[in-house]
Amino acid sequence: MLSTITLDRTSRAPLYRQIGEQIKEAIAEGRLPAGAQLPTVRQLAATLGVTRLTVQTAYAELQSGGWLEATVGRGTFVSIQATMQPRWSAVNGAATPATVIGDILQMGQAQGMRSLASASPDPELFPGAEFWASLDMQRAHTGLVGGYGAAQGDALLRIELAAHLSERGVAATADDVLVVAGVTQGVGLAAQALAQPGDSVLVEQPTYVGFLHQLRAYGLQPCAAPVDSDGPALDVVEQVAAQQRIRFFYTIPAFQNPTGCCMTPARKARLLEVADRYDFYIIEDDLYGWLAYDDAPPAPLKAEDASQRVIYVTSFSKTLMPGLRLGALVAPPALRERLTALRIAADLGSPLLLQRALATFLQRGDFRRHLRRTLPVYRQRRDATLRALDASMPPGVQWTRPHGGLCCWLTLPPHPGMGDVPRLALQQGWAVAPGSVFLPGASANHHLRICFGALPEDAIRRGVEVLGEVIRQQLIHASSPANALDEWLPLL
C-alpha cells in the first residue's frame, strides 16, 4: 500500500517529511482509506532503508495533524477524520481563539509549506549549528542544568538578557528581569497580576488572538481600541478609561500582530500620559520589535517609562526558534514580587538546560549574527507578499504595508461571502487565519491575516494568487453584499 513511497536523498526536505507528505497524498487521494492499518515502524523503516526514528517522526507528525491514530500494542491507522474534513477545525463552524490557536500550532507540522496562517519564523533559517554548539557546552554541567533553577530565571541568562534588552533601549539589570516561557506566558502572568475576574481591560482591535484567549480563560472583560496605521485610537482609550476603572492596556506597539503597523512616537508619548492620568498599567508586547526591514527598530514604550507603568515582554520565538519557549519580562519594581510568585504558581520556572543554552548563544554574539543573516530574507518575503497582493487581489481589497514583523492584514469588501474564504482557500491547499478571531469586540468576518515568514517567495506568490482567485470567485458568485454597515470600524 505504501510501496509507492519514493525518497529523494538529494532533496533539502528531510526524509521524515517526504514520507509524511506522500502518506498524506495517499490518504487525500483515497489510496489509504479511513481505518487502514499502516506498516509498523520497523517494517516501513526496513522497506525504505531509513532509520526507525525517521519513520517514527513521520508517523508522529501525521498523528499530530490528525491524519493517523496510534494505539499502543495495536498499531497505526488512518484516522476517520482525516478522510472526512479539512484539517482546520476553526473553519468548520465556530472559530474560537482556542480552536484557531490549536489549529495554528498544529498547522506548521501538519501542513508543511502551505500555510500562510502561522506567524512563525522559517524553520529552514533556524540557527541549528550555533544553537547545538551552545547546547553542547552545557553537557559538562548536566547535574546542574538537570536540576531546579530559580523561578525568576537563571542568573547567567538574566545577565545576558539585560544586555540584550539594552539594545532595544530597555534599561534593566539582571535583577530586574523575569525569565518567562514566551510572550504568551509573560503577558498572561501580567494580566493575572493586574486584574481579577470580572475586571475590565483595554486591548487593541485587532490584536493577538492568544491574548484574547487568555482574557476569556481568566474571566477578564476586553474593551477594544481600534488600530489604524499609526497605532491604537487613543481617543477611544481615554473615553473608556474615563467611563470605567481599567486595569491595564495591552498593546503591541512595534509591527503589531496581526496588522504589522507601528505606533507613532506621538501616540506613544500620549499613551504614557493617558495611562498616568487614568492610572492604569500598560502591558507592552515587543515580540516583533527586532524584525525591522526598512529603518531602525522603533523604540519600545518601556524606553520612555518614567512613571513605571509599563510591563515589557519579549521573547525569542520569532527571532530564533519558537521551540525554545523562552522570553523576558521587565516590570515596574512594585509588581515584581507578585509576578515571580505567579511564575512559581504557574510552573516553578523554565528548563535550566535551555536557559543556559540561550545564555551561551547570546554571550557568543550568535543572536546578532543570526539577525543580520535573516532580516534580509524576511524583508524579501515581505516585499514578495506586497508585490503578490498588488498583482492578485481584486478591487475592493485593502491591506497593510508593514515595515517589519511577519504579518499583513487584509480587509475584504463587507460581502457576505467573505466568511467562507478561509475554508475555500484551505480546500485549495492554502491555510490563512480568519480575521474574526483577532477582534475582541466585533463579529466582522471580512478580514484575513496572512503571514509571510515561513514561506519562500514563489510559494508566497502562489498562495496569494490562490487567495485572490478565491476572493474574486466569492465576490462574483456568493450572494449580494449586505446593506448594513459592519459594526467594526475597519482598519485603514
Q: Which of residues 310-369 bind a second copy (CB under 8 A)?
A: 317, 320-325, 340-342, 344-354, 360, 363
- Among 7, 159, 375, 489, the residue binding a second copy under the rule CB under 8 A is 159
Measured between alpha carbons, how far is 219 from 317 in angstroms, rounded to an integer?
A: 27
Measured between alpha carbons, how far is 315 from 293 in angstroms, rounded to an integer?
A: 19
User: Closest separation between CB of residue 437 and a second copy, Å?
Assistant: 13
The window from 117-125, 266-274, 399-407, 434-442 that contacts a second copy (CB under 8 A) reads 117-125
214 belongs to the binding site for a second copy (CB under 8 A): yes
The residue behind cell 511564575 is 343
E strands, 269-389, are 281-285, 310-315, 327-330
The window from 158-166, 259-267, 374-382, 384-392 that contacts a second copy (CB under 8 A) reads 158-166
- Among 46, 80, 163, 492, the residue binding a second copy under the rule CB under 8 A is 163
Q: Are strands 246-251 and 281-285 parallel, antiparallel or unpaired?
A: parallel
Cβ neighbours for 55, distance < 8 A, ≥ 6 positions apart: 16, 19, 41, 44, 45, 48
Binders in 389-448 for a second copy, by CB under 8 A: none
Q: For residue 61, what is the enclosing H or E element?
A: helix 52-64
The window from 215-223, 239-247, 281-289, 291-299 that contacts a second copy (CB under 8 A) reads 215-223
* Residue number, 152 or 411, with CB nearest to a second copy: 152
For residue 456, cis peptide bond before it (omega within 30 degrees of 0):
no
User: Closest separation between CB of residue 181 and a second copy, Å?
Assistant: 4
User: Closest separation between CB of residue 401 and a second copy, Å?
Assistant: 27
Q: For residue 409, what is the enclosing H or E element?
A: strand 407-411
Q: Return the closest-CA partner of residue 287 out of 187, 378, 368.
A: 187
Q: Return the closest-CA partner of residue 220 out of 137, 299, 283.
A: 283
Binders in 47-86 for a second copy, by CB under 8 A: 53, 56-57, 59-61, 63-64, 69-72
User: Closest separation between CB of residue 62 and a second copy, Å?
Assistant: 8
- Among 168, 182, 292, 453, the residue binding a second copy under the rule CB under 8 A is 182
Radius of gyration of the chain (CA): 23
- Among 89, 118, 256, 374, the residue binding a second copy under the rule CB under 8 A is 118
The size of the interface with a second copy (CB under 8 A), counted in residues, is 92
Number of C-beta neighbours around residue 361 at 10 A = 24
128 belongs to the binding site for a second copy (CB under 8 A): yes
Assess contact for 355 and 423: CB atoms under 8 A. no
Site string for a second copy, 1-20 (x = CB under 8 A): -------------x-x----
* DSSP letter (8 states) at residue 393: P
111 belongs to the binding site for a second copy (CB under 8 A): no
User: Closest separation between CB of residue 11 and a second copy, Å?
Assistant: 14
Site string for a second copy, 462-481 (x = CB under 8 A): --------------------
Cβ neighbours for 451, distance < 8 A, ≥ 6 positions apart: 115, 116, 117, 118, 119, 120, 406, 407, 408, 433
- Among 139, 334, 372, 485, the residue binding a second copy under the rule CB under 8 A is 139
The residue behind cell 542568573 is 155
Binders in 233-292 for a second copy, by CB under 8 A: none
- 347 burial (CB, 10 Å; 0-12 / 13-18 / 19+) is exposed
The window from 150-158, 222-230, 247-255, 280-288 that contacts a second copy (CB under 8 A) reads 150-158
Measured between alpha carbons, how far is 491 from 225 in angstroms, rounded to an integer?
A: 11
E strands, 286-333, are 310-315, 327-330
